């Protein structure tokens, strides 16, 4: 069965997306370490993006974070816009994303469950005051609140747990949909990847450039770019 046929007969679709959804907007996967990376940073990205590293080496964390994680010039791509269109048409129930770039919301999606948080939310660790991503980008060294406290991005770092409310809602959405589209993720990041097990619907669709361990369990597997694939969908 083709993707269009599955969309046509679906009543409640949930989209579960990873880094591959945003690469077409020019946001690199932070795990991609090139030669230049090693000249600039003394630690692997997974170590820098950990709770322990943030607490112990806050300035080094922010040097990396501003350089690699704050891609504020990136714009939504065809995938983001098509999903927002599907939601407006009443066939897409929600977007569940592992990305922290806020591009689904920027494209007009209303129900977006951000499993790993968002760069657009930042809070003082002492008084809880809110700061924007632009505030962080334009700061130098360790960003400080007007009260003197350290500002921390509302993103889930390694060693930190996911937000319970977001996880519960995501599991509920996955368990109640008739079609689940998984895209741009190798399904290796847990616990997010484990959520897919809660799907009990009719059609499991996987769109990913590379093969994954889930390929054999899906009704339809498309090895192509996410934006190009979704853009072909005609909403009737």
| pLDDT tens sequence for the chain (236 residues) | 699 999 999 999 999 999 999 999 998 776 665 555 566 888 988 899 999 999 999 999 999 999 989 999 999 999 999 999 999 999 999 999 999 999 999 999 999 999 999 999 999 999 999 999 999 999 999 999 999 999 999 999 999 999 999 999 999 999 999 999 999 988 877 776 788 899 999 999 999 998 888 888 899 999 999 999 999 999 98
Q: Identify the pLDDT of residue 34.
A: 59
Q: Identify the pLDDT of residue 166.
A: 97
Q: Identify the pLDDT of residue 136.
A: 98
Domains by residue range for the chain, with CATH: 3-27+75-116+161-231 (3.40.50.1220), 35-70+126-155 (no CATH)
Q: Identify the pLDDT of residue 192.
A: 66
Give residue for tokens 């230049």. 36
Q: Which two tokens stand for residue 24?
A: 């077409």
Greatest CA separation found in the chain?
Answer: 58
Q: Identify the pLDDT of residue 30.
A: 66
Among residues 11, 80, 104, 116, the one annotated as catalytic is: 116
Q: Identify the pLDDT of residue 44.
A: 87
Within 10 A of 195 (CB to CB), how many other CB atoms are there? 21
Question: Are the beta carbons of 24 and 226 closer than 8 angstroms?
Answer: yes
Q: Identify the pLDDT of residue 42.
A: 86
Q: Identify the pLDDT of residue 1.
A: 67
DSSP 144: B
- pTM (2 d.p.): 0.94
Question: Are the beta carbons of 20 and 80 closer than 8 angstroms?
Answer: no
Active site residue 120: no
User: Can you tell me whether residue 12 is helix, strand or coil?
Assistant: coil
DSSP 114: E
Q: Identify the pLDDT of residue 115.
A: 95
Q: Identify the pLDDT of residue 193.
A: 72
Q: Which two tokens stand for residue 186?
A: 């190798």
């Amino acid at each position: 069965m083709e993707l269009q046929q599955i969309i046509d007969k679906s009543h409640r679709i949930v989209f579960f997306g990873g880094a591959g959804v945003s690469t077409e907007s020019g946001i690199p996967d932070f795990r991609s370490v090139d030669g230049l990376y090693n000249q600039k940073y003394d630690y692997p990205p997974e170590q820098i993006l950990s709770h322990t590293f943030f607490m112990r080496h806050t300035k080094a964390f922010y040097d990396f974070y501003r350089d690699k994680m704050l891609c504020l010039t990136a714009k939504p791509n065809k995938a983001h816009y098509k999903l927002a269109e599907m939601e407006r048409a009443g066939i897409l129930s929600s977007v569940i994303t592992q990305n922290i770039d806020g591009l689904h919301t920027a494209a007009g999606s209303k129900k977006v469950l951000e499993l790993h948080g968002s760069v657009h939310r930042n809070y003082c660790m002492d008084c809880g005051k809110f700061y924007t991503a632009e505030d962080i980008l334009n700061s130098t060294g360790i960003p400080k609140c007007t009260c003197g406290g350290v500002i921390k991005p509302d993103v889930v770092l390694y060693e930190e747990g996911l937000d319970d409310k977001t996880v519960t809602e995501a599991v509920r959405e996955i368990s109640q949909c008739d079609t689940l589209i998984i895209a741009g993720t190798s399904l290796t990041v847990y616990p997010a990847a484990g959520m897919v097990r809660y799907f009990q619907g009719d059609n499991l669709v996987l769109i990913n450039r590379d093969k994954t361990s889930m390929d054999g369990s899906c009704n339809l597997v498309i090895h192509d770019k996410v934006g190009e694939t979704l853009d072909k969908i005609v909403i009737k």
